[in-house]
């Protein structure tokens, strides 16, 4: 209800009442805010130092990335606006659709240095035990960092959340240093007061069967295990060996054997909780070199379209999409020659299934900027949807749509979106995909491994081609997916078992379930 009321309010808000917006561009981030530009620059620089410090800590190369692969961070007014975008009890969130990863956090100022615990981070509330928006962003960026750098690795729930919790508590020194290892105070209750899970249970838990309190404990235990295995000299190399065993197909219990006697492991971990002083590791400021951050003021049209853009990027359902489109139309009437406005109008129209408007807006964007890669994607997606709805079988029509996706890919070959949609044109046309289309799909997953719709497309194609080993590589991250009541995770685990057994009946049943979950994702349910 809050979301609908705010959406109606924004749709009715005069275009002229828009605030000034600024954009900070850095190697790994695009940060947008109507905050003071100097503060915004410092914020983006801190995010870059965080990224570089994690790479130094984990020994991960800082390779070149495409501009479209950067995380776009939207800093919005407050927690109430975050909740209007995602739902009650949410303090900040991250999404990784095939169009590019995005994060949403509330503006942090002296009056809002602490905000209540969220559904993302179930914990205590009040004072120092609360999560602020920066911790939310660091937690979510740690997920992005992890999946981006380990795209083909199956990671258990405790590791996924423990990795994010460990890095989310980073502290920043005035000398540019970043220190890792601080405990997440908001997990203290789960670790001390409600510590019911043993290490054996954590390492071997089926997350689909955890109770609510046990689910909460897994976050704290995950942090504790990552912390202990990072700092304890006698345990060096064990975490890597454990993950390698899991990804070789060993059971969680077999993989856990790398830690030796689990009762002894439990005692070691218990002593870690009771240590009077926690181990931390500072990464010195002089070691953290980052590329320059540039800040620019958005043009009036870009600033005016921001409310609609934010809502589109946060994800809209079928009831909200027409209202966002109405917002975009109002702005487009005032700023018809603004590229950003036309791009948002096209995206909002696609979400609202108004493909004629989307196609027209995309064409206008191309006329304004012939190298606007996303405009070609919107144009081709709109035409693809219209052709599919009309059950077009004409080969020339589909070839032309594919040429538009190829044009987008040539303009930005680091973007997963045109590669995935080019492949999906064959499904929409009822045709078998070409070898090149399949290769593009697999490349897309390497570029953006977090999008479930993209991963499902890879899985279904691999199974259809009887490439069971490759299918299982793509399946494992879904099968270990950390989400309560995750039917997609269950179906993925079932499909792995069926592929191992080479049981066609069970394979078909699991695939049917995965397709059902894909339909829910596509509908935003």
Q: Is the pLDDT of residue 50 over 70?
A: yes
Of 67, 57, 58, 61, nearest to 28 by C-alpha is 67
Average pLDDT over the chain, rounded to whole?
A: 87
Instruction: Please give the structure tokens belonging to residue 316.
Output: 């809209």
Write out the DSSP string of 381-412: HHHHHHHHHTT---HHHHHHHHHHHHHHHHH-
- Of 61-65, 415-419, 446-450, highest mean pLDDT: 415-419
Of 472, 471, 457, nearest to 426 by C-alpha is 457
What topology is assigned to 22-152 in CATH? Glutaredoxin (3.40.30)
Q: How far apart are CA 324 and CA 489, in angstroms?
A: 32
Q: Where in the chain is the domain with CATH 3.40.30?
A: 22-152
Q: Is the pLDDT of residue 112 over 80?
A: no
What's the confidence (pLDDT) of residue 483?
A: 54
- Decide: 22 and 338 in contact? Cβ < 8 Å: no
What topology is assigned to 154-286 in CATH? Neutral Protease; domain 2 (1.10.390)
Mean pLDDT of 145-150: 87
Lowest mean per-residue pLDDT among 35-49, 114-128, 407-421: 114-128
Q: Other C-beta atoms within 10 Å of 289: how many?
A: 11
Q: How far apart are CA 361 and CA 342, in angstroms?
A: 5
pLDDT band at 121 (very low <50, low <70, confident <90, very high): very low
Mean pLDDT of 93-119: 66
Q: Is the pLDDT of residue 49 over 60?
A: yes
Q: Long-range CB contacts (< 8 A, 24+ apart) of 122-130?
A: 122/215, 122/216, 122/219, 123/184, 123/186, 123/187, 123/189, 123/190, 123/216, 123/219, 124/186, 124/188, 124/189, 128/185, 129/185, 129/186, 129/188, 129/189, 130/186
- The model's pLDDT over 217-252, given as tens digits with 9 standing for 90+, comes to 888 889 999 999 999 999 999 999 999 998 888 888
- The model's pLDDT over 422-481, given as tens digits with 9 standing for 90+, comes to 999 999 999 999 999 999 999 999 999 889 899 999 999 999 999 999 999 999 888 876
Mean pLDDT of 53-69: 93
Q: Is the pLDDT of residue 124 over 80?
A: no
What's the confidence (pLDDT) of residue 190?
A: 58
What's the confidence (pLDDT) of residue 19?
A: 79
What's the confidence (pLDDT) of residue 330?
A: 98
Write out the DSSP string of 121-163: S----SGGGSBPHHHHHHHHHHHHHHHHHSTT----HHHHHHH
Q: How far apart are CA 132 and CA 233, in angstroms?
A: 32
Element housing 233 (H / E)? none
What's the confidence (pLDDT) of residue 319?
A: 92
Task: Specify whether the backbone of 100 is left (phi greater than 0), alpha (psi in -120 to 50) or beta.
Answer: left
What's the confidence (pLDDT) of residue 188?
A: 59
pLDDT band at 37 (very low <50, low <70, confident <90, very high): very high
Instruction: Please give the structure tokens belonging to residue 218.
Output: 């897994």
Q: Is the pLDDT of residue 524 over 80?
A: no
pLDDT band at 108 (very low <50, low <70, confident <90, very high): low
pLDDT band at 51 (very low <50, low <70, confident <90, very high): very high
Q: Where in the chain is the domain with CATH 1.10.390?
A: 154-286
pLDDT band at 1 (very low <50, low <70, confident <90, very high): very low
Q: Is the pLDDT of residue 40 over 90?
A: yes
What's the confidence (pLDDT) of residue 346?
A: 98
What's the confidence (pLDDT) of residue 119?
A: 27
pTM recorded for the entire structure: 0.87
What's the confidence (pLDDT) of residue 115?
A: 27
Q: How far apart are CA 487 and CA 207, in angstroms?
A: 12
What's the confidence (pLDDT) of residue 131?
A: 54
What's the confidence (pLDDT) of residue 276?
A: 77
What sign does the CA torsion over 177, 50, 132, 270 have? negative
- Decide: 34 and 22 in contact? Cβ < 8 Å: yes
- The model's pLDDT over 261-317, given as tens digits with 9 standing for 90+, comes to 999 999 998 887 777 788 899 999 999 999 999 999 999 999 999 999 999 999 998
């Amino acid at each position: 209800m809050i979301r609908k009321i705010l959406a109606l309010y924004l749709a009715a808000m005069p275009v002229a009442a828009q605030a000034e917006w600024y954009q900070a561009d850095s190697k790994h981030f695009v940060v947008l805010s109507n905050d003071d530009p100097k503060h915004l620059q410092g914020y983006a620089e801190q995010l870059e130092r965080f990224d570089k410090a994690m790479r130094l800590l984990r020994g991960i190369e800082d390779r070149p990335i495409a501009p479209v692969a950067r995380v776009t961070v939207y800093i919005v007014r407050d927690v109430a606006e975050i909740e209007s975008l995602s739902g009650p009890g949410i303090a900040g969130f991250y999404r990784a659709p095939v169009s590019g990863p995005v994060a949403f956090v509330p503006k942090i100022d002296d009056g809002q240095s602490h905000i209540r615990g969220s559904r993302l981070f179930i914990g205590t509330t009040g004072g120092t035990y609360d999560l602020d928006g920066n911790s939310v962003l660091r937690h979510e960026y740690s997920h992005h960092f992890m999946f981006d750098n380990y795209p083909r690795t199956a990671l258990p729930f405790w590791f996924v959340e423990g990795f994010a919790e460990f890095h989310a508590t980073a502290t920043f020194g005035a000398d540019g240093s970043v220190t890792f290892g601080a405990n997440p105070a908001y997990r203290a209750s789960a670790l001390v007061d409600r510590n019911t899970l043993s290490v054996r249970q954590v390492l071997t838990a089926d997350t689909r069967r955890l109770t609510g309190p046990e689910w909460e404990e897994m976050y704290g235990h995950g942090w504790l295990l990552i912390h202990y295995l990072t700092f304890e000299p006698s345990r060096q190399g064990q975490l890597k060996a454990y993950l390698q065993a899991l990804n070789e197909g060993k059971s969680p219990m077999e993989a856990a054997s790398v830690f030796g006697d689990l009762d002894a492991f439990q005692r070691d971990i218990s002593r870690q909780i009771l240590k009077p002083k926690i181990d931390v590791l500072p990464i010195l400021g002089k070691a953290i070199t980052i590329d320059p951050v540039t800040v620019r003021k958005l043009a009036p049209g870009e600033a005016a379209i921001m409310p609609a853009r934010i809502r589109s990027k946060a994800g809209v359902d079928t009831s909200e999409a027409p209202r966002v489109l109405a917002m975009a139309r109002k702005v487009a009437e005032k700023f018809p020659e603004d590229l950003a406005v036309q791009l948002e109008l096209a995206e909002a129209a696609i979400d609202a299934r108004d493909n004629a408007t989307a196609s027209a807006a995309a064409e206008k964007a191309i006329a304004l900027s012939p190298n606007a890669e996303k405009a070609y994607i919107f144009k081709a997606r709109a035409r693809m949807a219209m052709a599919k709805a009309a059950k077009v079988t004409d080969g020339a029509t589909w070839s032309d749509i594919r040429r538009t996706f190829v044009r987008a890919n040539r303009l930005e070959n680091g973007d997963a979106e045109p590669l995935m949609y080019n492949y999906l044109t064959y499904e929409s046309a009822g045709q078998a995909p070409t070898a090149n289309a399949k290769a593009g799909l697999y490349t897309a997953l390497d570029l953006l491994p977090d999008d479930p719709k993209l991963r499902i497309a890879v899985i279904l194609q691999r199974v259809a081609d009887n490439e069971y080993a490759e299918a299982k590589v793509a399946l494992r991250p879904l099968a270990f997916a950390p989400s309560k009541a995750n039917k997609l995770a269950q179906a993925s685990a079932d499909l792995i078992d069926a592929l191992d057994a080479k049981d066609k009946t069970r394979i078909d049943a699991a695939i049917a379930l995965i397709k059902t979950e894909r339909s829910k994702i596509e509908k935003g349910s």
